[in-house]
Amino acid sequence: MPVVSVINYKGGVGKTTTTANLAAELAWRGKRVLLLDLDAQASLTFSFVQPDYWNEHLAEDQTIKSWFDSFSSGTPFPIEQLIFQPERTRQRLDGRGELHLVSSHLGLINVDLELATKLGGATLKQAKTSFLRVHQRLKNGLEDLVDDFDLVLIDCPPNFNVVTKTAIVASDKILVPAKPDYLSTLGIDYLRRNLNDLVEPFNEYVTMDNDSKSETIDPTLLGVIFTMIQVQSQQPISTQRPYMAQTKALGLPVFDAWIRENKTLFGDAPEYGVPVVLTGQSPGTYQNVVNELEEFVTEFQERLDE
């Protein structure tokens, strides 16, 4: 069961939109996909469920915040208890595959602060033990689910806080949506360095700690997928191409596929609770967008299988 985190420090680059459509298309192709919303903004959650439903049925004790909180209260429960299939998408999938969700909560911000206080210790040994314990919490939680899903996708917030780090430690691969502009691409190389700064000490502590049952980790970049591309004659416009080329020149893996900008289709979800790739609109622009999403998902599967 590969675990893939969707990350970019830059906000608004299409992480959540990419995650939702990737999951929906994979489910359409017959996969059992688990989506985990790890962003306190909860955009992924609200692209599948109505706020009223969330308030009534999920907010109190059915979000990933409750799961993190359960460690502090001393009664951790399995993540499995939080998993459900959003209804609109389930209907649309019509029994092909499955799309499951663990929803988020605004209060996840506080979880981050609290996890940060749990790092450290009176001695170096204690500090290393708490570093491992805190960072591999999610990895351990997901291990119970290996037989239930073909893939786990984690939508991360635009930061590198402790919660995001728990996602990286749990991940086999990192998917990086980016806009072809200066700031978005600048952040990608920085992300790669930050990944190393987490993985190296983590593995060093695991190796040093003889009593530890932990295993070393190796989350690697699956690739950069460029989103919100402006298109002219079916190609990215000339001002955007240099940023795509530059990213490749840095030695970063870049998807051949890309996704165009379309404010009408992506902006206000045309059909509530169903990602664009499953909405089934009339042909024309919609068909171009769907083709691009499908090409991306095919390439995603190929890269994951490599």
Least distance from ligand ATP to the Cβ atom of residue 268, Å: 8
Least distance from ligand ATP to the Cβ atom of residue 302, Å: 22
- The footprint of Mg ion on residues 34-73 (CB under 5 A) is 43
Question: Around Cβ 118, how many Cβ atoms within 10 Å?
Answer: 15
Q: Interface with ligand ATP includes 43 (CB under 6 A)?
A: yes
Q: Which of 215, 188, 174, 136 is nearest to 3 (CA)?
A: 174
Distance CA 84, CA 100 (A): 5
Q: Interface with ligand ATP includes 158 (CB under 6 A)?
A: yes
Least distance from Mg ion to the Cβ atom of residue 40, Å: 10
Q: Interface with ligand ATP includes 168 (CB under 6 A)?
A: no
Residue 9 interacts with, from Mg ion, ligand ATP, none (CB under 5-8 Å by kind) = none
Q: Which of 24, 2, 44 is nearest to 297 (CA)?
A: 24
Kindly indicate which of the ranges 137-145, 244-252, 256-264, 293-301 contains the residues binding ligand ATP, using the contact rule CB under 6 A: 256-264
Return the residue of 27, 163, 259, 274 that touches ligand ATP, per CB under 6 A: 259
Q: Interface with Mg ion includes 179 (CB under 5 A)?
A: no
Q: Interface with Mg ion includes 159 (CB under 5 A)?
A: no
Return the residue of 70, 161, 262, 301 that touches ligand ATP, per CB under 6 A: 262
Least distance from Mg ion to the Cβ atom of residue 71, Å: 25
Q: Interface with ligand ATP includes 129 (CB under 6 A)?
A: no
Least distance from Mg ion to the Cβ atom of residue 49, Å: 15
Least distance from ligand ATP to the Cβ atom of residue 257, Å: 12
Q: Interface with ligand ATP includes 70 (CB under 6 A)?
A: no
Kindly indicate which of the ranges 10-18, 137-145, 213-221, 237-245 contains the residues binding ligand ATP, using the contact rule CB under 6 A: 10-18
Q: Measured from the CB atom, is 12 or 121 closer to ligand ATP?
A: 12
Q: Interface with ligand ATP includes 267 (CB under 6 A)?
A: yes
Three-state secondary structure string covering the chain: CCEEEECCCCCCCCHHHHHHHHHHHHHHCCCEEEEEECCCCCHHHHHHCCHHHHHHHHCCCCEHHHHHHHHHCCCCCCHHHHCECCHHHHHHHCCCCEEEEEECCCCHHHHHHHHHHHCCCCCHHHHHHHHHHHHCHHHHHHHCCCCCCCEEEEECCCCCCHHHHHHHHHCCEEEEEECCCHHHHHHHHHHHHHHHHHHHHHHHHHHHCCCCCCCCCCCEEEEEEEEEECEECCEECCCCHHHHHHHHHCCCCEEEEEEECCHHHHHCCCCCCCCHHHHCCCCCHHHHHHHHHHHHHHHHHHHHHC
Binding footprint of ligand ATP, residue count (CB under 6 A): 19
Least distance from Mg ion to the Cβ atom of residue 19, Å: 8
Distance CA 258, CA 224 (A): 9
Which residues are near Mg ion by CB under 5 A?
15-16, 43
Which residues are near ligand ATP by CB under 6 A?
11-17, 39, 41, 43, 158, 227-228, 259, 261-263, 266-267
